[in-house]
């Protein structure tokens, strides 16, 4: 599948995990099949607009939030803060805390 299909799927997974929802719960809330949710998150299926609308409503986010800065490119340069956000948001809260501590430690060494 295309990069945008994979990126949208990853975003859905990120928001779902942030909300503490299983694929099954998101499927229940959105009226989609759990297998379909998994296929979307893995970038294996191209979502319909109707299903994206139901999924974003179930996640409590707007359509624009799901798609904002999706290409991650501005003027041909990679948006590093956005890439970091996408990376971190896919991790568990414990992993996020550990990675943040690592960044803080690295920043201390840079300052010296």
- pLDDT of the residue at 72: 54
Question: Could you give phi then psi for residue 21, rounded to 5 degrees?
Answer: -100, 145
In terms of Cα–Cα distance, which of 91, 101, 108 is closest to 14? 91
Architecture of domain 3-111: Orthogonal Bundle (1.10)
Q: What are phi and psi of 66, to 5 degrees?
A: -60, -35
Residue 48: the pLDDT is 93
Residue 111 confidence (pLDDT): 61
In this structure, are residues 23 and 12 in contact, taking their beta carbons and an 8 Å threshold?
A: no
Say which residue the tokens 């319909």 belong to.
48
Residues of the chain scoring pLDDT < 70: 71-78, 111-112
pTM tops 0.85, yes or no: no
* Cβ-proximal residues to 78 (8 Å cutoff; 6+ apart), any chain: 72
Per-position DSSP letters for 14-53, written without gaps between them:
HHHHHTT--HHHHHHHHT--HHHHHHHHTT-SPPPHHHHH
């Amino acid at each position: 599948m295309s990069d945008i299909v994979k990126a949208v799927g990853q975003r859905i997974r990120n928001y779902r995990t942030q909300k503490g929802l299983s694929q099954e719960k998101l499927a229940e809330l959105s009226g989609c099949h759990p297998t379909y949710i998994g296929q979307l998150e893995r970038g294996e299926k191209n979502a319909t607009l109707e299903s994206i609308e139901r999924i974003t409503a179930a996640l409590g986010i707007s359509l624009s939030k799901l798609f904002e800065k999706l290409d991650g490119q501005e003027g041909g340069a990679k948006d590093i803060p956005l890439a970091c956000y996408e990376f971190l948001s896919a991790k568990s809260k414990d992993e996020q805390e550990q990675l943040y501590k690592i960044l803080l430690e690295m920043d201390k060494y840079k300052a010296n």
